[in-house]
């Protein structure tokens, strides 16, 4: 069994976890939620194993680089980190209902990686600019940030749904955490994500200097990374200095994640030094 087979199976494992978390939320049953947690853990182990196999396969082909160099590999890593951060969050706060929104994100990342005709699963040699020890540090830092923002987006989405009922939560909405808890979780996830996005930008600048002889060149990816950074910096400033919370923070979180998605997907198809991400 090769890495692609393993990762294809993981796609369905995350799908099952998402269904179980949603069932636990809708029917207010404990057992599906518990099973969903174990299924997600199984998915994480399979996901990590698939990445490990792919790394070994890269060595066998004579490339020997970490599986972090193209869109397929980055989506697989993105799904893994989302699932890991969610499991840590679930263990700490015992809030399985958030899994109804985070597990589908891992599934969608894997499904898009596996099913999109525009994404190649083949292992390819690195471009010269990518042959650097900064590859792992830069990519992992960025995707730790992206994954935290993804979960913050899910929590903010829950908050906005609850906010529409004027605070009188009933039925399915009553099974969500209180608004104050959702607001605090959003804040914590964004602080975590902002830290790693900042590290990602810094390591990327150092890497760019060694690869292209300049720290910053206003490449579309660099520009949109900075725009995303400013959106989340504005959110944290508004919360910590101006005391914003609730709907305004949730809305900024959603806007920030839209910027993350454009930074991740959109700019890969624009002319620039990072256009290799579309392959």
Same domain flag for 155 and 218: yes
pLDDT at position 41 over 70: yes
pLDDT at position 279 over 50: no
Tell me, yes or no, whether 17 lies in a domain: yes
Give me the CATH number covering residue 11.
1.20.120
Tell me, yes or no, whether 131 lies in a domain: no
Same domain flag for 146 and 276: yes
Nearest to 190 by CA among 238, 240, 142, 145: 145
Same domain flag for 112 and 189: no
Domain boundary among 93, 126, 159: 126
What's the whole-number average pLDDT of the chain?
A: 89
In this prediction, what percent of the chain has a pLDDT beyond 90? Answer: 60
Q: What is the pTM of this model?
A: 0.92
Same domain flag for 174 and 102: no
Please compute the mean of the pLDDT values over residues 230-256 and round it to a whole number: 94
Query: Would you tell me the crossing angle of helices 134-163 and 247-264 to the nearest 10 degrees?
Result: 140
Same domain flag for 145 and 254: yes
Please compute the mean of the pLDDT values over residues 214-242 and round it to a whole number: 91
Rg, the chain, Cα only: 19
Same domain flag for 43 and 75: yes
| CB contact set of 265 (below 8 Å; sequence gap of 6+) | none
Tell me, yes or no, whether 198 lies in a domain: yes
Same domain flag for 81 and 177: no
Which residue's entry shows tokens 């706060």? 93
pLDDT score for 144? 97
Same domain flag for 68 and 149: no
Please compute the mean of the pLDDT values over residues 203-227 and round it to a whole number: 85
Structural domain including 262 reads: 137-279
Same domain flag for 143 and 276: yes
Same domain flag for 83 and 145: no
Same domain flag for 122 and 143: no
Identify the helix (H) or strand (E) that includes residue 222.
helix 220-240
Same domain flag for 145 and 201: yes
Number of domain units in the chain:
2
The pLDDT-based confidence of 270 (bands split at 50, 70, 90) is low
Please compute the mean of the pLDDT values over residues 206-234 and round it to a whole number: 87
Domain boundary among 126, 146, 174: 126
pLDDT at position 207 over 90: no
């Amino acid at each position: 069994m090769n890495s692609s087979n393993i990762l294809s199976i993981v796609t369905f494992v995350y799908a099952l976890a998402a269904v179980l978390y949603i069932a636990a939320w809708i029917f207010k049953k404990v057992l599906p939620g518990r099973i969903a947690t174990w299924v997600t853990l199984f998915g994480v182990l399979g996901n990590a194993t698939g990445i490990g196999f792919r790394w070994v396969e890269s060595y066998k082909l004579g490339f020997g680089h970490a599986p972090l160099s193209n869109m397929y590999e980055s989506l697989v890593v993105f799904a893994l980190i989302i699932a890991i951060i969610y499991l840590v969050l679930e263990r700490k706060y015992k809030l399985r209902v958030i899994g109804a929104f985070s597990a589908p994100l891992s599934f969608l990342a894997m499904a898009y990686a596996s099913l999109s005709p525009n994404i190649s699963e083949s292992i390819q040699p690195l471009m010269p600019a990518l042959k650097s020890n900064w590859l792992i540090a830069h990519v992992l830092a960025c995707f730790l940030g992206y994954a935290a923002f993804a979960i913050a987006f899910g929590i903010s989405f829950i908050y906005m749904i609850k906010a529409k009922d004027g605070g009188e939560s009933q039925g399915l909405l009553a099974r969500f955490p209180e608004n104050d808890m959702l607001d605090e979780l959003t804040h914590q996830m964004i602080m975590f994500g902002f830290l790693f996005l900042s590290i990602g930008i810094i390591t990327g600048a150092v890497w760019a200097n060694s690869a292209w002889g300049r720290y910053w060149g206003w490449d579309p990816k660099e520009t949109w990374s900075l725009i995303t950074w400013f959106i989340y910096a504005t959110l944290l400033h508004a919360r910590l200095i101006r005391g914003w919370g609730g709907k305004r923070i949730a809305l900024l979180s959603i806007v920030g994640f839209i910027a993350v998605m454009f930074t991740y997907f959109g700019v890969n198809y624009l002319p620039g030094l990072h256009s290799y991400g579309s392959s």
